[in-house]
Chain A
Amino acid sequence: MFEDFFKVVKKRFNDGSDEDERETFKCPRCQSSVLLERYEELHRVCPNCNYHGRLSASERIAITVDRDSFKELDAEMVSGNPIGFPLYAEKQQELREKTGLKDSVVTGTATIKGSPAVIGIMDSHYMMASMGSVAGEKITRAFEYATENSLPVIMFTASGGARMQEGIVSLMQMAKTAGAVKLHSDNGGLYITVMTDPTTGGVTASFASLGDIIIAEPKVLIGFAGRRVIESTIKQKLPDDFQLAEFQHEKGFVDMIVERRKMRSTLSHLLKLHGYYPQEKEV
């Protein structure tokens, strides 16, 4: 599945591009243009302003967990159409082919420098990682699995919010996931949230905000209400840094801002500080 995704991406980048017209990435924060090649080399971090761009789930897994340690859970789950929304099934089919993903969240078990954990990654390339039945169920099951097996959970969150096309059923996924987090927490389990770009709406208002430790990547968007909604409510333009990771850190809703290149070692240290050591050599 992930190989397929890379193929699609590679093909798209190679198609019809002359040597002279190499593709560029325009940073949404500082507006500077960076050679796409260079941006990818930096694992999608803007060299100019340090904005941490959006990774696919497979890219995130590759730079975070020990090689070949990721074992996916519930890989085949696909969404129904709970409110019978027109063309929902067709749109999903199209996206599945385009992204190689089945829905917006990938969950599984892995080790990070030997420490075991349950990992969840939301991929904004799939319907802006909105949360519907599949995301809700997979995240809930990931926490339940972690509770049963006394494992920590690390969630890389990104989302535009609830999946509108599933109506009220998507709202209920907030209760479902938050409930599973609570039971995991009551059982003494460690939960680390890593907020990535963008973490908003119903995901912010449920499991994403419930981490024992909340980490954010630099310059990512984190908030409840969308910027445009707020601007239209208050009838004025918001400052550029509103709802960025640094703003949430300043307001006390994010414990630390961690750069991508230090994420793996930071997570490894935090897991060990909570007693989750590599299983083969107990310390």
Chain B
Amino acid sequence: MDNKKSAWERIQLVHTKGRPTINDYIPLIFTDFYEMHGDRLYGDDKAIMGGIARLNGMPVTIIAQVKGRDIKENKTCNFAMPHPEGYRKALRLARQAEKFHRPIICFIDTPGAFCGISAEERGQGEAIAKNIAEFMTLHTPIISIILGEAGSGGALALGVCDELAMLENSQYSVLSPRGFASILWKDASREQEASEIMRITAEDMVSLGVAETIIEEPLGGAHNDLDKISENIKEYLSLKIPEKCKKDIDVLLKERYTKFRKIGEFTE
């Protein structure tokens, strides 16, 4: 493992051109992938993709935020910033997974939910809230993996799970360090300072009880060896999915609730 990269260095690293996206990983981790489209209510949001595939022969449901690998792809997938219909598609596919007893694997890779007029008009807040609440009691195992950045409620909408894993250099934050600096210090240029204070690295998440596992990246970052990082992700899933599927569902749900229930620091 690369030793102790700063939060700021990791932010630069996940924004390196060539950082693998979900579209790179799917063919190397899964077989028989069939993508499904639309939320059946409004439209199909390309910032979140989902479908059915096999992991070592076992049917699973995949739900993933989509980063583009170039400007053209990014325009299509809106830089991985979903609209409400993206979250509603995710919920539709998650319920389908529950119905057919498939475990769910969520890949998180977003700067945050889209902030715009149309997103507000169609209930961005409601869509995220609904996913968080519904995922909490879905009667099927859920594993979430953060690939690059995971920003705010837009990430959490795919982040209520039985276990959260993070790629070594990925980050999870309540909002971007830039936004954080801008709100708290009225000075967006202090984003580097914010990134170091906020505690956003994979190690921070494990120590705060937010994430359980760190998936090692190849030397220098995931982009240096796509086969290796895909193998590491697959190895993790091959271990965890059968483990969670073996559990009694009531025990699993209780543990899922407790995982989030115990986060917080207060005295009385």
Contacts and interface: CB of A to CB of B under 8 A. Distances in A.
Contact of A169 (B121, B122, B265): B265
B208 interface: yes
Given A80-B265, A179-B261, A182-B137, A168 B174 contact: yes
A4 interface: no
B237 to A, nearest CB: 22
Contact of A168 (B173, B184, B266): B173
Nearest to A232: B115
A16 interface: no
Contact of B153 (A81, A174, A242): A174
B97 interface: no
A205 B155 CA distance: 12
A82 interface: yes
A83 B267 contact: no
Given A181-B133, A183-B257, A234-B117, A78 B267 contact: yes
B120 A179 contact: no
Contacts of A210: 129-130, 133
Contact of B129 (A81, A172, A204): A204
B265 A81 contact: yes
Interface string B168-194: 000011110001100110000000000
Give the interface size class of chain B. 35 or more
A140 B132 contact: no
Interface of A, secondary structure class, is helix
A162 B174 contact: yes
B129 A140 contact: no
Contacts of B263: 169, 172-173, 176
Nearest to B205: A168
A168 B199 contact: yes
Interface stretch (A63-71, A131-139, A264-272): A131-139
A174 B132 CA distance: 8
Contacts of A136: 264
Contacts of A225: 113, 115-116, 119-120, 124
Contacts of A77: 266-268
A149 interface: no
A97 B255 CA distance: 39
Nearest to B256: A179
B200 interface: yes
Contacts of A79: 265-266
Contacts of A104: none
Contacts of A175: 132, 136, 156, 159-160, 260
A145 interface: no
Interface in A170-195: 170-176, 178-183, 185-186
A34 B124 CA distance: 35
17 contacts: A77-B267, A78-B267, A81-B265, A83-B199, A133-B265, A140-B261, A167-B174, A172-B210, A174-B156, A176-B263, A178-B129, A180-B261, A186-B137, A205-B113, A209-B123, A210-B129, A225-B113
Interface of A: 74, 76-83, 85-86, 132-134, 136-137, 140, 162, 164-176, 178-183, 185-186, 201-202, 204-210, 223-226, 229-230, 233-234, 238, 242-243, 251-253
Going nearest first, the 9 A-B pairs with the smallest beta carbon separation are A80-B265, A204-B125, A225-B115, A133-B264, A224-B125, A209-B129, A205-B128, A82-B265, A224-B124
Given A77-B266, A210-B129, 9 more contacts: A83-B208, A164-B180, A166-B174, A167-B173, A168-B172, A206-B129, A208-B125, A230-B115, A253-B126
